[in-house]
Structure 1
Amino acid sequence: MHFLSPNLRQLISCSIIATCVSFCCSFGALADLKVSDDGQRTVRLEHPARRIISLAPHVTEMIFAAGAGQLLVGVSDYSDYPEQAKKIASVGNIFSLDLERLLALKPDLVIIWGTGNAKHLAKKLRDNKITVFESEPRTFEEIASSLERIAVLSGTEAIGNAAAKQFRERLQNLGSTYRLKDKETPVSVFHQMVKSPLMTVNQEHFISKMITLCGGRNVFADLKDISSTITVEALMGANPEFIFSSGKDNLKLLKDWESFPTLQAVKKQNLYSIPGDWLHRAGPRVLDATEQLCKDITEARRKNQR
């Protein structure tokens, strides 16, 4: 370019640089987005998702927390948090899904609760060339990383990473405040998952991890299955100091067990309830449930020391 004027040479050079930058950006945009889901499958998208469907209430909550709520074009039944989720059309649930309606919405990503019947549904969706992310967090850390992974697939990393960081910091603070201190003994705890038939959870269940963090001991931690039916006789034998379930009314829970006055939890009136949406949805609000459970177990420990 020695025969061109200096100004023209500068203009051409700038144009070449701009073209290279544009090419690099375009190449980056086309590069695969890749994460692992909770089923240990690799999930790939050529570009950030623009039309997402959630097939579980906890997934809907995580999508909003990760900054991608505006990309939702369909949700499952009972997706009622945050408030904006109520305005999004439901496509059913994993047990009764309107597959034709779902496909008509042309999602580029479906996030599904990755357990039980959902495995068959996930296969159907993949057979229809739909990208599926299976969500089944079993630990606090898996919830935090879910926020990050959903954000990667949605192109909302700044918000998702910030939400995950905030979640981990709050979790650390709860642990520092409520984990057992030296010479403290754990409060023996029974979680009433279902009243009839009477069901509870083992140590692998998320709720059992909450109990441990709060300074409690799950009296049925050693059960074989993650959730199991037990007998009243087994509960009487375990004789927990603390019983909790999901709901809003401690008095109702007390009434349910007042015919068993020899139970330690009944004697000391250590019967508590926690909002079910906090307790049973594996999304960011599990920390609200954890904090409430920790406060209740701490109160029970004080009663035990009297």
Structure 2
Amino acid sequence: MFPRRLVLAALLCSALASGARAAALEVQDDRGITVRLAAPPQRVVTLLPSLTETVCALGACNRLVGTDRYSNWPASVQALPKAGGLDDANVERIVSLKPDLVLAAGSARIIGRLESLGITVAALEAKSHADTQRVIRAVATLVGQPGADALWARIQQDTQAAAARVPPALKGQRVYMEVDASPYAAGPSSFIGETLQRLGLGNIVAPELGPFPKLNPEFVVRAQPDIVIASTRNLDEMATRPGWAQLAALKRGRVCRFASEQFEVLIRPGPRLGEAARLLADCLVRLPQ
């Protein structure tokens, strides 16, 4: 028989290990609420594309049982049940998926309803590079997957490599990056604006206007950006907007146009930030000087 003190020591070690595991599955979400899980979740629903991509980039794609309708990367998630969007997520559909954890944007209207039904929800949404790193770490903690720091390091390396390829002549040139035809722009404090800054570019939007301000169309015309970046669809109709045909960047072909799949990479603050930087650099090196 084992001495009593050895048995007690073993029990104490087991208890400490269990406590460490429990503590490891605990994060504070964007609402300031502490989200705790007793064990790594085996059934996860994501309600934001960047969260879906983060779960998969951390190697937990097999835990996903449902996503929002816009999640489409990696390709395997396209076959999963879809639970609506940010403003119209389907409570009944989510409940039917029996999730251990739902990952959602803090602005999602559905959070309170899900929590009232006993479903654990973590509200996590990135608006900057620092936010993205924080969200990656939080998701890794909640799903019990290592690799958050390695993933972030890879994003940084890819971004640095992209910045090294940007022609020196473009450094400091002012960009208008359109995220929506309203027009909404990516300001310098947004994750997109931060990537542009890492590439050495300026921005026609002042920081005090916020990360994604809605601009007066005349503001863009007056600003005369050196480079225009947008989706192919938006770029194709820009010249028809009042006064926009006078934008020198459009007339000189100093534009970066992206098909929808590539544009999605640019506007999602997740594990593909480094790829977004590469796509931007690919365009910038081809611009007429």
2:253 equivalent in structure 1: 269
Letter in 2 for 1:281: R
1:99 and 2:91 correspond: yes
1:44 equivalent in structure 2: 36
CA deviations over 1:114-157 (Å, ceiling 9, x no partner): 23xx1x32222222232222221122233233222211111112
1:53 and 2:45 correspond: yes
2:125 equivalent in structure 1: 136
Letter in 2 for 1:289: A
Distance 1:20 1:234 in 2: 66
2:176 equivalent in structure 1: 190
Asked if the contact 1:180/1:214 (under 8 Å) is kept, the reply is no
Further displaced range: 105-114 or 16-25: 16-25
How far the C-alpha of 1:217 sits from its partner, in A, is 1.2
| Mapping 1:222-301, distance limit 5 Å | 222=207, 224-247=209-232, 253=235, 256-257=238-239, 260=244, 262-274=246-258, 275-300=262-287
Distance 2:265 2:114 in 1: 29
CA deviations over 1:141-189 (Å, ceiling 9, x no partner): 33233222211111112x33432332233234444x16896x9751111
Letter in 2 for 1:283: G
Residues 198, 21 of structure 1: CA spacing in aligned structure 2 closer, same or farther, 3 A cutoff? closer
Further displaced range: 237-246 or 101-110: 101-110
Residues 9, 153 of structure 1: CA spacing in aligned structure 2 closer, same or farther, 3 A cutoff? closer
Question: RCO greater where, 1 or 2, for CA within 8 Å and sep 6 or more?
Answer: 2
2:199 equivalent in structure 1: 214
With normalisation by structure 1, the TM-score equals 0.79
1:71 equivalent in structure 2: 63
Asked if the contact 1:187/1:297 (under 8 Å) is kept, the reply is no
1:126 equivalent in structure 2: 115
| Mapping 1:133-212, distance limit 5 Å | 133-157=122-146, 159-175=147-163, 177=164, 185-195=171-181, 197-212=182-197
Asked if the contact 1:254/1:269 (under 8 Å) is kept, the reply is no
CA deviations over 1:60-82 (Å, ceiling 9, x no partner): 11110112211112111122111
Further displaced range: 49-58 or 262-271: 262-271
1:3 equivalent in structure 2: none
Letter in 2 for 1:46: A
How far the C-alpha of 1:210 sits from its partner, in A, is 1.9
Asked if the contact 1:126/1:132 (under 8 Å) is kept, the reply is yes
Pairwise CA RMSD: 3.0
Asked if the contact 1:219/1:238 (under 8 Å) is kept, the reply is yes
Question: Which runs of no fewer than 5 residues in structure 1 stay unpaired?
Answer: 1-7
SS of structure 2 residue aligned to 1:96:
coil
Distance 2:88 2:17 in 1: 42
SS of structure 1 residue aligned to 2:180:
coil
Question: Which runs of no fewer than 5 residues in structure 2 stay unpaired?
Answer: none
Letter in 1 for 2:270: G
Q: Percent identity?
A: 24
1:85 and 2:85 correspond: no
Letter in 1 for 2:145: T
SS of structure 1 residue aligned to 2:113:
helix
Distance 1:30 1:285 in 2: 30
Distance 2:62 2:132 in 1: 20
How far the C-alpha of 1:17 sits from its partner, in A, is 6.2
Asked if the contact 2:177/2:185 (under 8 Å) is kept, the reply is yes
SS of structure 1 residue aligned to 2:93:
helix
Asked if the contact 2:24/2:141 (under 8 Å) is kept, the reply is no
* Larger gyration radius, structure 1 or structure 2: 1
SS of structure 2 residue aligned to 1:133:
strand
Further displaced range: 197-206 or 279-288: 197-206
